[in-house]
Amino acid sequence: ANIAKGTDEASLAFREGDGRRERMETRLIDQVASLEAGLREEALAREEGERYALDDRNSTRNALQREISLREDLASRVEQALQEERQREEAHQQFILRHDENLASKLAKLETLLKHEEEAREKALA
């Protein structure tokens, strides 16, 4: 009877132990599943963040390239406009120089004619 009682108690203890082990295994499986889900969410969030950062970098790089291109184009157009203005200024200076030389030549001829006319008057009066 004692053996049967001891066997029954041992059997009961094993069943209780099996029940506790099954509950612990179930709890561990749930915890592992929860951790896996959290890690998946974290990985997806990280990937989304990396995609966003990459898109943002690409957008910034493209905007910077457009800005550089626009500035280079503007600098080129300003340089061209300055060169054209220098050429116009040089042409204008050449025109003024030729005009002044022409006026000086005409003035010298006029002075010579006036001098000759004055000399002719003086000869006529003398």
pLDDT band at 8; cut points 50, 70, 90:
low
pTM for this model (two decimals): 0.49
- pLDDT at 12 exceeding the cut of 90: no
1 three-class SS = coil
Q: What is the rounded CA–CA span in Å between residue 8 and residue 10? A: 5
- pLDDT at 21 exceeding the cut of 90: no
For the chain, how are helix, strand and coil distributed in percent, rounded to 5? 100, 0, 0
pLDDT band at 14; cut points 50, 70, 90:
low
Average pLDDT, the chain: 91
Task: Determine the distance from the C-alpha atom of residue 4 to the mean position of all C-alpha atoms in its chain, rounded to a whole number.
Answer: 87
Q: Which residue has 């499986």 as its token pair?
A: 29
What pLDDT, in 10s, does the model give residues 51-102? 999 999 999 999 999 999 999 999 999 999 999 999 999 999 999 999 999 9
Q: What is the rounded CA–CA span in Å between residue 73 and residue 55? A: 27
